[in-house]
Amino acid sequence: MNWFKSSKSGPYSDNCVEIAFKTSSYTDDVYCVEVGTCDCPEVHMRDSKDKSGPTLTFDREVFVNFISGVKNNEFNL
């Protein structure tokens, strides 16, 4: 797993947050997604080709429900 130090962490702060990103097993040359979790109520996603780029943040419960819906074919793509 790749660890990412939160931008909310200061250089001398005891309140540092680090997020462990895991690359999706479905990642290929076009679709590259990493999901990051920590001991917090959020889940983070980013493009694994641009690790310093923007990160999307989702409420953990909403994200889990979304993944469940994908697995159950609840979305018409």
In the predicted model, residues of the chain with pLDDT beneath 50 are: 1
3 state DSSP class of 64: helix
Compute the distance between CA of residue 56 and CA of residue 73 in angstroms, rounded to an integer: 23
Provide the whole-model pTM. Answer: 0.62
The tens digit of pLDDT for each residue in 41-61 reads 888 888 878 878 888 889 989
Write down the pLDDT at residue 10: 57
> Hey, where are the domains in the chain?
2-8+17-71
